[in-house]
Structure 1
């Protein structure tokens, strides 16, 4: 499977959506807590990991 920007964005959004839905359905936290605190931190963490992964991939491709 060849990843491009569209597929990467779709998978990223799907992972965050599934994680958010699972936390909303689970009786651990209120929905407001999940939507205002957990989901934004999941997005930021995912973007940081994506940036590190892309940088590592570029490094591996050139060395």
Structure 2
């Protein structure tokens, strides 16, 4: 049994919202702030990683 890797999204805003992207099967909408020094934030519910476009390719 394999586990799917969390989703990664490239965004152009430092403030993002995540609701699990699965409609009724998602999670409560949360608003997340991308730190300007690290360039990314991870959703505490679904582990989706949001990377600011200025840090694309620089974040592992």
* TM-score relative to the length of structure 1: 0.21
Query: Which structure carries more relative contact order (alpha carbon 8 Å, separation 6+)?
Result: 2
* TM-score relative to the length of structure 2: 0.21
Structure with greater proportional strand content: 2
Structure with greater proportional helix content: 1
Higher-Rg member (1/2): 1
